[in-house]
Amino acid sequence: MRILFLGDIVGRVGRDAVAAALPELRRRLRLDLAIVNAENASHGFGLAPEMARALFEAGADVLTLGNHAWDRREIIPFIATEKRLIRPINFPPATPGAGSVLLTLGDGRRALVLNAMGRLFMEALDCPFRATEDLLTRHKLGATVQAIICDFHAEATSEKAAYAHSFDGRLSLVVGTHTHVPTADHQILPGGTGFMTDAGMCGSYDGVIGMGKQPAIERFWKKMPGERLQPAEGPATLSGVFLETDDTTGLARHIAPLRQGGRLAETFPEF
């Protein structure tokens, strides 16, 4: 299975870049599955339903969220009916929406996509490790599903690495989101799980993690609330990771970063 994961979309420039590039990426990479984190798509905070629809129309199969999941309240009734939009699985049980989605591809292969959120330097949620373990009692990689992909939305690199190693051999891919900076540690772990600490973001890197520079700078200088943060303008960079799995085992065969456009050095998966 050929899978592309794109990191956090930040604002309009990120949305427009993903919508413009995704159809060609699907063709060029011969993708079976495209997953995008969209929790910052609406002006940097949350996701509006019409933006989710546009991303699905552009070719996203699944959209994931994170700690900004509920910043746009109109997403609450939308997520209750749109199964391809998922929020962290370790939100409390009564939370709207679901933390995972099971997709059946056109050729009959099945892929499970889950979204989990870390707790170190983040909100006090239920345990993401135990929530994932519970989900994996119902789905077995290489048996009931051909791929399992997790967007682990977390602040601490240590928590992301601990999570990936905990489920090595039981997930196809663990990719981190939230910090908006792509890491250079893409690898296949000893048990066969693909891992990258953070996919980076889809937005303008001429800013402070996707937001305009000056208001962010002033908050650090003055340590006071200031002007509301707005997404940075300028050419967007798409940041993400590509994974190819073995359909028999569900484990990773090839992993490579993707960076396209904008300010960062470009890199594209090679075969």
Tell me if 153 sits within 8 A of 67, measured CB to CB. yes
Residue 186 belongs to domain spanning: 2-260
Within a domain: residue 255?
Answer: yes
Tell me if 91 sits within 8 A of 128, measured CB to CB. no
DSSP β-ladder status, 62-64 and 33-37: parallel
Which active-site residues does the annotation give? Answer: 68
Distance, CA of 121 to chain centre = 19
List the pLDDT tens digit at each of the 271 positions of the chain: 999 999 999 999 999 999 999 999 999 999 999 999 999 999 999 999 999 999 999 999 999 999 999 999 999 999 999 999 999 999 999 999 999 999 999 999 999 999 999 999 999 999 999 999 999 999 999 999 999 999 999 999 999 999 999 999 999 999 999 999 999 999 999 999 999 999 999 999 999 999 999 999 999 999 888 888 999 999 999 999 999 999 999 999 999 999 999 999 999 998 7
When divided into structural domains, the chain yields a total of 1
Within a domain: residue 28?
Answer: yes
Within a domain: residue 108?
Answer: yes
Within a domain: residue 26?
Answer: yes
Indicate which CATH number applies to the domain containing 184: 3.60.21.10
Instruction: Tell me the one-letter amino acid at 269.
Output: P
- Residue 261 makes CB contacts below 8 A (sequence gap 6+) with 17, 21, 235, 236, 237, 238
User: Quick check: helix, strand or coil at residue 75?
Assistant: helix
Within a domain: residue 72?
Answer: yes
Within a domain: residue 138?
Answer: yes
HEC assignment per residue over 169-180: CCECEEEEECCC
Within a domain: residue 110?
Answer: yes
Within a domain: residue 223?
Answer: yes
Alpha helices in 43-144 (DSSP H): 49-58, 75-81, 128-136
